[in-house]
Amino acid sequence: MKSVEELIEVKRDGGKHTEQELEHIVNAFVSGEMADYQMSAWLMAAFINGLDDDETVWLTKAMAESGRTVDLSSVPGTKVDKHSTGGVGDKTTLVLAPLVASCGVPVAKMSGRGLGHTGGTLDKLESIPGFRVTLDTDAFAKQVRDVGIAVIAQSADVDPADKKMYALRDVTATVPSIPLIVGSIVSKKVAGCADAVLLDVKVGSGAFMKTEAEARRLAAELVRVGERLGRRFVAVLSDMDQPLGCAVGNAVEVREAIATLRGDGPEDLTELCIALGAKMLVLGGRAEDEREGRQLLLDSIASGRALETFRAWIAAQGGDARVAEDDSLLPLAPATREVTAARGGWIAGFDAEGVGRAAMALGAGRARKEDPIDPGAGIVLAVKAGDEVAAGDVIATLYAQDEARLEEGAARLVASVRIADEPVTPPPLFHEV
Ligand code: URA
């Protein structure tokens, strides 16, 4: 076998790795034989020179096999997972997981934390008093069996390669590479042992993939590699040119998710959850087709079953389930400010990444992994793309611990909103399935 240095040379010079070489790179890195600086060099070589179809599959397989796999064989039925490539205000999992579980498809999901301008499901869930995101894999499987739903932090012994590689990619400007993103996402799903995976590939100013062509290429690669590793993968391309729904933060997003489960959510979030949920019910064998799936989901919301499943899930993970009825039990930062439109017109759109950065400035996100977050900080938008506004109309309410944070958050938010003189057609929610 080539030395680690020789393996870096292969990629530096644009060569093709063998399956054994990629296994060796991944295992040597996880064991510590390959140092962080060597992996950083290899990642940059892979970022610049790419990995071909076979290499991407081999890398993904080696990553998935780098640690323990989750055994969900004791859970009856087809386990369906959902993964979003990350966005701003993306609280889909908080709605979709209990909604789909309430219709009889078990949901076993491992989620991540927010980083940079994108939020993370775990941080949002932890804003519910008492909620625990760490369960060992046996307790995880048991909860899925007993309650039909569990959402936990990726455990340290599942796909350790991704954890270590992602931490380096994050600080070496090597995140937005299609083969590396595919390896990261698909390896986690394969190690997590879901039978089928629905991928929500975000496209637009708030996503890693800024153009539709890039997002389409990523989606096709995710499906190809997932299927080559024996899993059913379906991908949709959904819009991230404006935040999803109105809330951006942590507890503010939990409030919006609860409202959506009650049937009072924003239109775009509700429609995204119903459309994705219908596909998950079909993948899980619970609905014949998407029309039937949609009806089951709408019935579950109307009957209160969706919210009841949310309550059972929160309680099972130690959280205060009374938040479902009384959202004053969720934290809310004490200092608030309304941001108003400087002039009249139509909301042409948002720089969604800018809105995410405004939320970070308020304290809702973290710039570095070890940074604390303020669960009660965030933004609630009063307008969406296409809405007409008059000068002085409120466009958002901001929440933070102090005036200094409000000041920076407000400046960033104002810079992220585009107002046009002519009526504007809002962007489509879906670009492609
Ligand atoms: N999400 C992931 O899980 N991994 C990536 O590399 C990018 C987005």
Contact predicate 251/332, CB 8 Å: yes
CATH number, position 393: 3.90.1170.30
Strands 378-381 and 107-111: unpaired
Contact predicate 401/333, CB 8 Å: yes
Ligand 1 binding pocket mutation candidate from 185, 208, 222 (most atoms within 8 A of CB): 185
CB-based burial label for 210 (10 Å; 0-12, 13-18, 19+): middle
Q: Residue 10 falls within a domain, yes or no?
A: yes
Does residue 335 sit in the same domain as residue 318? Answer: no
Q: How many CB atoms lie within 10 A of CB 402?
A: 12
Mapped onto helix, strand or coil, the DSSP state of residue 233 is strand
Residue of higher predicted confidence among 276 and 192 = 276
Does residue 161 sit in the same domain as residue 268? Answer: yes
Q: Is 222 in the pocket of ligand 1 (CB under 6 A)?
A: no
Does residue 306 sit in the same domain as residue 342? Answer: no
CA angle in degrees (0–180, nearest 5) for 49-50-55: 130
- Tell me: the pLDDT tens digits for 80-90? 899 998 888 99
Q: Residue 63 falls within a domain, yes or no?
A: no
Cα–ligand 1 centroid distance for 86 (angstroms):
8
Does residue 118 sit in the same domain as residue 193? Answer: yes
CATH number, position 25: 1.20.970.10
Nearest CA to ligand 1 atom 6: 181
Does residue 149 sit in the same domain as residue 23? Answer: no
- Mean pLDDT highest for which of 82-96, 208-222, 311-325? 311-325
Does residue 118 sit in the same domain as residue 241? Answer: yes
Number of structural domains the chain divides into: 3
| Average pLDDT for 95-105 | 97
| Residue ending a domain, choose from 324, 347, 367 | 324
pLDDT at residue 53 tops 70: yes
pLDDT attached to residue 203: 92
Tokens representing residue 302 in the block: 């109307």
- Tell me: the pLDDT tens digits for 355-397? 999 999 999 988 776 788 999 999 999 999 999 999 999 999 9
pLDDT attached to residue 249: 96
Instruction: Enumerate the β-bridge partners of residue 234.
Output: 198
pLDDT attached to residue 57: 98
Does residue 191 sit in the same domain as residue 301? Answer: yes
| Average pLDDT for 21-26 | 98
Which DSSP string corresponds to 28-93? HHHHTSS-HHHHHHHHHHHHHH---HHHHHHHHHHHHTTSB----TTS-S--EEEEE---SS--HH
In the sheet where 232-239 sits, what is the strand order?
A: 80-84, 196-203, 232-239, 430-432
Query: Measured between alpha carbons, how far is 205 from 339 in angstroms, rounded to an integer?
Result: 21
Q: Residue 430 falls within a domain, yes or no?
A: no
Confidence band of 350 (pLDDT split at 50, 70, 90):
very high
Atom of ligand 1 nearest to the CA of 180: 6
CATH number, position 258: 3.40.1030.10
Q: Is 86 in the pocket of ligand 1 (CB under 6 A)?
A: yes
Q: Residue 229 falls within a domain, yes or no?
A: yes
| Average pLDDT for 150-165 | 90
Q: Residue 303 falls within a domain, yes or no?
A: yes
Does residue 187 sit in the same domain as residue 253? Answer: yes
Beta-carbon contacts of residue 342 (< 8 Å; ≥ 6 apart):
391, 414, 419
Percent with pLDDT over 90 in the chain: 80
Range of the domain at 366: 331-420
Query: Measured between alpha carbons, how far is 16 from 12 in angstroms, rounded to an integer?
Result: 10
Q: DSSP letter at 230?
A: T
Nearest to residue 359, comparing CAs of 388, 379, 373?
A: 379
Confidence band of 115 (pLDDT split at 50, 70, 90):
low
Q: Residue 69 falls within a domain, yes or no?
A: no
Query: Measured between alpha carbons, how far is 65 from 330 in angstroms, rounded to an integer?
Result: 39
- Tell me: the pLDDT tens digits for 233-287? 999 999 998 999 999 999 999 999 999 999 999 999 999 999 999 999 999 999 9
If you average pLDDT over every residue of the chain, what do you get?
94
CA angle in degrees (0–180, nearest 5) for 55-193-56: 10
pLDDT attached to residue 167: 85
The residues annotated as belonging to the active site are 83, 162, 169, 184, 188
Cα–ligand 1 centroid distance for 225 (angstroms):
15
Does residue 137 sit in the same domain as residue 30? Answer: no
